[in-house]
A and B are shown apart, each in its own frame.
Chain A
Amino acid sequence: MKPHWKRSILYGGAILLSLILPLIYPRPFFLHVLIMFFLYSLLSESWNIIGGYAGQISFGHALYFGLAAYVSTFLFVRFGITPWLGLVAAISVASAAGLLAGIPFFRLRGHYFAIGTIGLTEAIAVLVNEWELVGGAVGIYIPMLEPSIAHFQWKSRIPYYYVVFGFLVISMVIVHRIERSRLGYYLRAIKMNEAAAVSLGINPLKVKEIAMAISCGIAALGGVFYAQYTLYVAPDTVMALQISVDMAVITLVGGAGTLFGPIIGAAILIPLAEILRVYLGKVGTLHIAIFGMIVMFVAIFQPSGIIIYFQRLRRWKREV
């Protein structure tokens, strides 16, 4: 059998399994864990474009997630605009914000870029915290309305599950397309050697900006979903540094700059975090300590991410 045949069957099987899973095992906590897994896979794919493929380590991606959550929520609560239209507005705002942030930050390198992105996100979170129009520190509660597609609200977790799964599939298709496009090759070239990339006709600022706009647009999908799933936005829930760090950690643990790295990272870390939160909730934030241990082990033993083991397995199978 040709390899791409096998791959199609594998992907088709994975999608099919994901589609029927909530029907055969609709336990709310189980669905919640899967929803968070899909959400963080999506966010990490977004981060992966800038942090993985382009090698620009951002610790501020919660900003675009949070902005998007605020935009759709504000439009919905204030003007009754359906979150689906809000999603379009949110993607535009997040991408535009990413482009603006990129103008100064993509001139910075390494640690300075990372610090700049943290600073901006924290600054915006403080502003939102003080801005009464958008609820200030209290945030905005989304009122429970009649469950419907237009309201982006449902009683059961199953529709949320399918929505976030759809968003994840869209984001993975985009990342896959980038990987095989001029943009993908240019991003990797810039990451590895900017001087050589520039000598081959690549304008690094332009390429990074295009990637940033796409990355922030995908983060916006997650932001709008999260707002509708939890029916609440506040600076310290949607613009928290922890969210930015999680996106980076999941991608780096799984394998930065690969399509499936973020999925592998999220598959390991998110169920672990959710389960530990339930069983160790009384011990406070112990799950973060366990997170930290995993990150340390990956950093020491396999800095390229866990995906390396899968790639080795595949190569080994091919050779046998």
Chain B
Amino acid sequence: MADAIDIVGLSHWYGEGAMRRQVLQSIDLQIHAGEVVLLTGPSGCGKTTLLTLVGALRQVQAGQVRVLGQELGGSSRSVRQQLRRNIGMIFQGHNLLRCLTAEQNVQMGSDLLPGLSYRARRDQAREWLRAVGLGDHLGKLPHDLSGGQKQRVAIARALAAHPRLMLADEPTAALDKQTGREVVELLRRLARDQNCAVLMVTHDPRILDVADRLVQMEDGRLTASSLALQAG
């Protein structure tokens, strides 16, 4: 099976001239389709930078980054934009569109699918909201949802575009222990059903056991990679 992510010798710098600072130092990382990988490490070690590079949100400076078969080194803006349609992203803040209902927010994801009628895309959006347990909250605005519910809408939105890779940046940061755990397990289950790879950045030690693999990072280097215990 083709790798979802294949990174060889990736380095990245911020700033110019004397201010230039290296944040990633020759990183090698492979993630297979359907694999759930957790990335941990102290803050400021470059996790988020790695995520934005893999998510085709930043230009690769040095090294090879192949995501879903697309080489990102020297790629054009439109290539990256097209690739992003196949990558689901979940953020620390939920980043839902405030003016849209839960259902409409999710449909912004399914609207990216080509060749489907409006009704089909709306039905898919509803289906995903039911899958994340929000079938009763279709018409609510983000304002009226709790933190955990919002994060679940965000997951539904990311999945609605049928991604083959999910990137999540501390999805549990704003949630309490119980809710955070539920959200992450939901994410893992749904991603696995779709045969979708997941790369999740987290500080949260309580959710490490959901991963197939743990990757640790320090000062821009990957320090350890271990097979996690199989979650129950």
Is A bound to B? no
